[in-house]
Amino acid sequence: MVIKDTHSLVTARNILTGLRSIMASSGNAQTKLNQVVETIAEAVGSEVCSIYLLREGVLELYATQGLKQEAVHVTKLAFGQGLIGYIAKNVESLNLAEAASHPDFQYRPETGEDKFHSFAGVPIIRNEQAVGVLCAQHIEPHKYAEEEIESFETAAMVLSELISNTGLIDEDSVDNPDAYNNGTDRLSGLQLVKGKASGFACFHQPRVKIEQTVAEDTEAERHRVYSAFDKMRAQIDHMTNQAEFGGGGEHEEVLQTYKMFAYDEGWSRRINEAIDSGLTAEAAIERVQQHTRMRMRQINDPLLADRMHDLEDLANRLLRIVSGQMGTAATLGLRQDTILVARNLGPAELLEYDRRRLKGVILEEGSLTAHVTIIARAMGIPILGQVKNVRQYVRENDHLLLNVDDNVLFPRPSASMQDAFEAQIELTNKKRAAYAELKDKEPVTLDGTRITLKINAGLRDDMKMLSLTGADGIGLFRTEFQFLVAATMPSRSGQLRFYRDVLHAAGDKPVVFRTVDIGGDKPLPYFQASEVREENPAMGWRALRIGLERDALMKVQARALIEAAAGRVLNVMFPMIAEPWEFDEAKAVFEKQLDYLHARGKQLPLRIRYGAMLEVPALAECLDLMASRLDFLSIGTNDLTQFLFAADRSNPKLAERFDWLSPAILRFIGRVSKEVDELGIELSICGEMGGRPLDAMALLGLGIKRLSITPASIGPVKAMIRSLNLGAAQEQLGSMLRDPPPDPRATLEEWAISHDVDLG
Ligand code: PEP
Ligand code: MG
C-alpha cells in the first residue's frame, strides 16, 4: 500500500476513525453497515458507496448510500457475475472511469445505477477469500486515484473484521467454500509414504488470527512492528548463518530469498505507511500482504508466484512475532484426524506431533529418502509430497481426502467422493488384515530359501512392531531419533535407560544399534556440529565424522550401549564409513569403554559384533580390507543412491530422477553382494529400497538374503517372498545386469506378474 500524500492519509485515517466508532457503537449489524457506507462516501466524496456480502454463494447488496434503498437485499449477483462478482471471484480491485466499458458489466435497473459512470470496487477479504465487495460510484466518468483505491482496501479490511464480529457472513461458507466448489478438485503429488487418510487440514505454521484492525495508539503499533522486524531479521540471520542446521528444514535458496525480503526497505515502509493510516501492526502487515497478493494475481508469473510464497512465509513469520502467536500447530494442540500441511518439515518437527491425532502429511516439497519421510514411514503416517501450491488451494480446517497410494489429494470432497473413499479404505484395511495374518508365517521362497526379514526402528513405540509383524529382529535402530526428539542432548543415564528398554522389548531378537547419524538433514537444534557453513551438508560434517571428532558424544553412547547390553550380544553399526581407518577408530572408542567398564567390574556384553554401513561408494573398493574387521555389513541404499548418482536425497527436484532399479544401482549391489559372499562377510540391506516388494525382489535376485525394512512393508515383502521362485529371479536379474532393458522397472514388473509374484 502506498499512501503518498497527506491528503490521502487523512482520508484513510478519517475512514478508520469513523469505522472504529461505528464498530464500538451499540447499533445492530444493519445499522452499522448503513453508517459505514455513509462514512466512507463522505470521506472520499463519492456519490455512491455500497456493500455487497456473500451469503450462500451469492453476493447480496447489504447497504448503500446513493443507490435506491429498495434494492437493498433485493439485488443479488452470483459469484463471478457482473463487476461485483468479478471482484469477488478474482479477489481483485477494479477502477473504471466508465463501468459499462468492462466486459463483465451488468446493469441492474432496480438500483438506479444507470446515471453513474465511474466505478471502483475492492474485495472484502477473509482467509484470502472474498466475502464481499465494497464499491463506490460517481456520476462523472473519472478514474479514482490510486490512493483512494488503497483507502477503500484499508476500509474493506476493517469491514471484514466488523462483518465477521457481527455474524454478517456465515463463517462456514468462508471456511468451507463448497458453496462455489463442486467438490471434485484434485491435487496431485509424489508418493512418499503410502496410505490413505480422511481428515482436516491443519497448517504446520498456522495463519495468525487478527483480533483488532484499527489502532488505538499508532506510535505504539509502530514500535511493535519495528521490534518484530528486528526479531525476525535476527532469526533469519541466525538461520542463514547455520543453514545446514536450521530448525525448519528450509533450504538454502529459501533462506537467501527470506533474507532478501526480510531486509527489503520497500516492504517495511509500506507496512509503516499502513500503520500511519490507522491500522494495528497485525492489520498493517496483512493489509500490505493482501495488496501484494492482488498484484501478483494480476501478473500471473509462475516464477513470481514462487517468490510470493516466500514472502507469504515471511509475512506470516512477522505476524506471528508481532502477535506473540509463535507456536507451530504441534504446540497449539491438534484436533482429531488432522492432516498436516507444510512447505517442508524437519524430522524433529514431525516428531513433535501427537501421532494419534495426525493422520497424514502434505508437503509442497519433500523427497522419498529425506529423514522426515523415513520417520513418517516409521510412524505409519502417509505423506504426499511435491503438492505444488497446496497452501493456496487448501485452507485451515478444509476436509481432505488423502490418497497417497494413488498420489492424489481431494480437498473439500463431495459426499459421493467420500463414500467411494470409505470403500477404498475398507479394502486397504482388508489387505492389511491379510498381511497381519502372515505374521507367523516364515519368509521362505517357493524354492526353499529362508530370507531374514528385520525391521528398521528408532522410536520406543516402534518396538511393538517386532511382535506385530513377526520380524526376525531390528536390522537398523536409528539411535539419533532419540536425539532428535529431545530438547537437549540426551544424558548417558537417559540413553542407557532407553537402550535397556529397547533390548528388553526385543527379547531374544537381535537389535543392531547404529551409532548417532546426525548432521545432513538431521540437525540437532541444541548442538552445533560444524563451525563452518556447509555448502553440501549431506556430504559434510555428519554421522561418524562428527562422532569421531566429538568423541565425548560417541564415548557416552558407547558406554550406554555396552552397559545396556550387559549379559547379551551387542550389535553396533557405524554409519558413513568410507575407509577402514574410520571403522578402526570407531571400534576403538567402544573397546576403550569396554576396558573401562571391565576395570570397574561391570557386567559386560557377551560379545560385541561390529558392523559398518555401506553408504559411501568408496567403501565398496575396500571390501577385501574390511573382511577381517567386520562382523557384518549393511547397505544403506538411501545414502548410497545419493552418492552414486550425486543426487541430494532431500532435493525435491531430484526426487524422481533416478530409479533404484537402474542398472547402476543394480550392478553396484550385485557386485558387492558377490564379493562379500566370497569374502564371507554377512550382508544385509537397510535402506528404503528393500521395503518395496518389486525392488526387494530385485535385491533377492542379486543375491541378498537379509533385509531390514520399515515395519509396514514386512507384510507386503513377505507375501512377495513367499510367492517367489528365487532361482528364476536370480536368472532374470543376471540377464538384466548383462543387458539392461530400457525400462528395468517395467520389465521386472512384467516378469513378476507373469511369474505370479505377489507385489501387493
Ligand atoms: C541409508 O542411508 O540408506 C540408511 C538406512 O540410513 P539413513 O536413511 O538413516 O541415512
Ligand atoms: Mg544413511
Residue 300 has a pLDDT of 66
Residue 424 has a pLDDT of 86
Domain-wise residue ranges, the chain: 6-181, 185-206+329-429, 218-323, 438-754
Residue 43 has a pLDDT of 85
Residue 232's nearest CA partner among 251, 258, 211 is 258
Nearest atom (ligand 1) to Cα of 687: 3
Residue 250 has a pLDDT of 38
Note if the pTM is more than 0.75.
no
CATH topology of domain 6-181: Beta-Lactamase (3.30.450)
Of all protein residues, the one whose alpha carbon is nearest to atom 10 of ligand 1 is: 639
- Whole-number Å distance, alpha carbon 606 to ligand 1 midpoint, is 28
Q: Which of 368, 369, 522, 542 to mutate to test the pocket of ligand 1 (most atoms within 8 A of CB)?
A: 369
> Is residue 415 scored above 80 in pLDDT?
yes
Band the pLDDT of 241: cuts 50, 70, 90. low
> Is residue 267 scored above 70 in pLDDT?
yes
318-357, pLDDT tens digit by residue?
998 999 887 788 877 788 999 999 988 877 788 888 888 9
The dihedral of CA 321, 324, 328, 331: what is its sign? Answer: positive
- Three-class HEC string of 612-638: EEECCHHHHHHHHHHCCCCCEEEECHH
Q: Which residue has the higher pLDDT, 406 or 444?
A: 444
The CATH number, out of the four listed (3.40.50.300, 3.90.1150.10, 3.50.30.10, 1.10.645.10), of the domain defined by the range 185-206+329-429:
3.50.30.10
Residue 8 has a pLDDT of 65
Nearest atom (ligand 1) to Cα of 634: 5
Query: Residue written as cell 469491514?
Result: 159
Residue 429 has a pLDDT of 85
745 Ramachandran zone, left/alpha/beta (phi>0; psi -120 to 50): alpha
Minimum mean pLDDT among 107-116, 217-226, 526-535, 720-729: which range? Answer: 526-535
Residue 304 has a pLDDT of 67
Mean pLDDT (the chain, rounded): 88
Please state, in angstroms and rounded to a whole number, the distance separating the CA atoms of residues 539 and 596. 34
Q: Which of 546, 638, 704, 706 to mutate to test the pocket of ligand 1 (most atoms within 8 A of CB)?
A: 638
Q: Under a CB-based contact definition with an 8 Å cutoff, are residues 756 and 723 in contact?
A: yes
> Is residue 172 scored above 70 in pLDDT?
no
Residue 370 has a pLDDT of 79
Domain 438-754 class, CATH top level: alpha beta
Q: Which three cell numbers stand for residue 63?
A: 447497504
User: Treating both helix axes as pointing N-terminal to C-terminal, what angle do 637-644 and 663-679 enclose, rounded to 10 degrees?
Assistant: 120
- Whole-number Å distance, alpha carbon 536 to ligand 2 midpoint, is 15
Residue 46's nearest CA partner among 15, 84, 4, 21 is 15
- Whole-number Å distance, alpha carbon 44 to ligand 1 midpoint, is 64
Cα dihedral 108→114→119→124 (10° resolution): -30
- Whole-number Å distance, alpha carbon 476 to ligand 1 midpoint, is 9
Question: Quick one: 218-323 is in which CATH superfamily?
Answer: PtsI, HPr-binding domain (1.10.274.10)
Band the pLDDT of 438: cuts 50, 70, 90. very high
129-165, pLDDT tens digit by residue?
789 999 999 888 888 888 888 888 888 988 888 887 7
> Is residue 178 scored above 50 in pLDDT?
no
Q: Which residues line ligand 1 (CB under 6 A)?
A: 374, 476, 478, 517, 615, 636-639, 686-687
514-562, pLDDT tens digit by residue?
999 988 777 787 777 777 777 788 888 888 898 888 878 899 999 999 9
Band the pLDDT of 596: cuts 50, 70, 90. very high
